[in-house]
Amino acid sequence: MSGGPVISLEDVSFSYGGPRVLDRVSLEVEAFEFLGVVGPNAGGKSTLLKLILGLLEPGSGRVRVLGMPPERGCRQIGYVPQYPLFSRDFPITVEQTVLMGRLGSPRLFGGYRRQDREVARRAMAETEVQDLASRQLRTLSGGQLQRVLMARALATEPRILILDEPTANIDMRVETEIFDLLKQLNDRMTIVVVSHDVGFISGYVDRVACLNRTLVCHPTAAIDGEAIRSLYAADVRMVEHLHH
């Protein structure tokens, strides 16, 4: 297992019944890489993630996660969705939500054990939501909820962390905090983050995958106006961010 890419897509195409959303996309993500996926809306970013997670099946081509088919590989992935599917007024606490990261095989029924609670507690400490543990989900702000969802993903003790627009509804200060945290986590896991904000993430990621039906990869250093223009097919003003 060691040495090979942790995620690999070979010639993957996908459509939801209409025109192709992804057209012959190939991508290899190395262990401990920090990959940013950028592209316009409806460019196929979320679809790409769902294929990696095994929530969708490719029309053609092959997806492998840690050398396994994604339905099995996905258990090693911590996933932070952009639009969580639950309703915000579900009667549940932060701790209960984070504990759900501990569910799954080999235990298919029964409750949580002490070790599970310990892992969940550590995950909450890492994303700085331990003080919110007994709060109701419906009382959280957007930024707090995002950290709780990250804690839930970390509670799965993943080898790969995948985040879909983690900072879409969050102010700039929190965005920086979240990406600083991701940079720390990158020491022990591979990270794939989808974003629409190529300028911001280029200060953090090792490599940027530009996705608009087809996929082109750039090392972070090579992101310039030309690359962005070809991606968005329009002039985009680039703002220099100086991180670190």
Beta bridge partners of 25: 12
Per-residue x/- marks for another protein, 110-149, CB under 8 A?
xxx-----------------------x-------------
Decide if residue 164 touches another protein (CB under 8 A).
no
Long-range (24+ apart) CB contacts under 8 A made by 218-227 are: 220/36, 223/198
Q: Which is nearer to another protein, 1 or 85 (CB)?
A: 85
Decide if residue 82 touches another protein (CB under 8 A).
no
Decide if residue 55 touches another protein (CB under 8 A).
yes
| Helix, coil or strand: residue 107 | strand
Q: Which is nearer to another protein, 41 or 87 (CB)?
A: 87
Q: How many residues bind another protein (CB under 8 A)?
A: 33
Cis peptide leading into residue 166 (ω within 30°):
no
Decide if residue 97 touches another protein (CB under 8 A).
yes
User: Pairing between strand 207-212 and 214-219?
Assistant: antiparallel
Decide if residue 96 touches another protein (CB under 8 A).
yes
User: Which class for 3: exposed (0-12), middle (13-18), buried (19 or more C-beta within 10 A)?
Assistant: exposed
Decide if residue 166 touches another protein (CB under 8 A).
no
Rounded Cα–Cα distance for residues 125 and 131 (Å): 8
Give the sheet arrangement for strand 60-65, strand by strand.
20-29, 7-15, 60-65
Q: Using CB under 8 A, which of 10, 24, 68, 75 touches another protein?
A: 75
CA atoms within 13 A on the CB side of 180: 11
Beta bridge partners of 77: 160
Segment interacting with another protein (CB under 8 A) among 5-13, 88-96, 178-186, 228-236: 88-96
Q: Which is nearer to another protein, 31 or 92 (CB)?
A: 92
Q: What is the DSSP letter of 20?
A: E
- Residues lying near another protein in the complex (CB under 8 A) are found at 53-55, 74-75, 77, 79, 81, 84-87, 89-93, 96-97, 99-101, 103-105, 108-112, 136, 152, 156
